[in-house]
Amino acid sequence: MRWILLPFLTVFVSSATSSTAADPVELTPPECVKRLETLTESVAQFQSRLANEPGRLGCVQEIVAKLRVLTDLGRQSAAALVQFNHSKDEEAAMAEKEKLLGMVARADQLAEAARNCTAMTTVSRPQKSKPEIRTASPPPVPATNPAVLPSVPRPSWPARTEADCIRQGEAAGLLARVLGVAAEKAVTALSARHIEPLGGWQPAECLTVDDFCVAVARALALKVEGPEEPSSYVQALRDAGLPVDQCLPPRSAGVPSFLTAAEIREFLAAGKAAPLQRVYAPTTH
């Protein structure tokens, strides 16, 4: 099995990371955690230099918060890898490695975004010497509803058939691991928590965009406008900042949009998927 990596930018922030770093694919789990910690510390140092620039400071602070979440998840992932290797669960270990490497790739991207924050220019409006006098009120500007803003999907998606899709049972296992639920009985454990597609889990069936988005939105207890409409769950995830348009193919009217294992793993490994572990608290019995 080949590791599946997210696209990434090799970015070095401040002198702490200015030397040549190893390619993420060559990093060991401890080295991945160290890379996450180094990037987080380096970006955090920008804050003291931007104390008098609220716009840039807010931009960097938001990125630091995301990096800290990624670093915490990276430590958890590295610890889980030790357990999987000890139990010789090769499939689980491989999935965990992919997730950890994806976190490093995402952290590199966030570090580049932080650099862009520090380079932002603030444009100030010139002060008017006299107060402006209006003879008539301007026409009202209609409010923009963020829920209906058009999304920008990837330019193209590879064609896929039922032979390429990930089955719901396997997808439930991947989601269960992220949520900290017993993966060996994932379907049963998730269903007990009402984390499932609208029609329930069908382990042997292909997973669609609608199935996955409904299950993830329920895991996060997101509020949806139409509980029986899959599109409401898709939009709820988009509004929550999860990478729906970046990692998943677009929904097709009347035609199921099958998902692949690579797309599910990329979504779960992406930095903005961190709320899955931060918000969800497994039920204890």
Write the pLDDT tens digit of every residue in 100-115.
888 888 888 888 888 8
- Contact predicate 78/32, CB 8 Å: yes
Helices (H), the chain: 29-44, 46-49, 54-86, 90-118, 168-179, 186-192, 209-219, 230-239, 244-247, 261-269, 275-279
pTM check: above 0.75 = no
Residues in the chain: 285
Band (pLDDT 50/70/90 cuts) for residue 204 is: very high
- Contact predicate 279/21, CB 8 Å: no
pLDDT digits (tens, 9 = 90+) for 52-68: 888 888 888 888 888 88
Task: Name the nearest CA neighbour of 37 among 74, 81, 83.
Answer: 74
* Cα→Cα distances 49→43, 60, 117, 260, Å: 11, 11, 12, 44
Band (pLDDT 50/70/90 cuts) for residue 185 is: confident
Highest mean pLDDT among 114-128, 131-145, 148-162, 169-183: 169-183
Extract the tokens encoding 269: 């490994």
- 271 Rama sector, left if φ>0, alpha if ψ -120 to 50, beta otherwise: alpha
Element (H, E) at 198: none
Extract the tokens encoding 184: 């060996």
Chain centroid to CA 60: 18
Helices 54-86 and 90-118 sit at what angle, rounded to 10 degrees?
Answer: 170
pLDDT at 137: 54
Three-class SS of 109-132: HHHHHHHHHHCCCCCCCCCCCCCC
pLDDT at 91: 84
| Cross-strand pairs, 208 | 258
Task: Name the nearest CA neighbour of 179 among 279, 54, 36.
Answer: 279
pLDDT digits (tens, 9 = 90+) for 267-284: 887 744 455 554 444 444
Long-range Cβ pairs for the range 197-200 (8 Å, 24+):
197/168, 198/228, 198/230
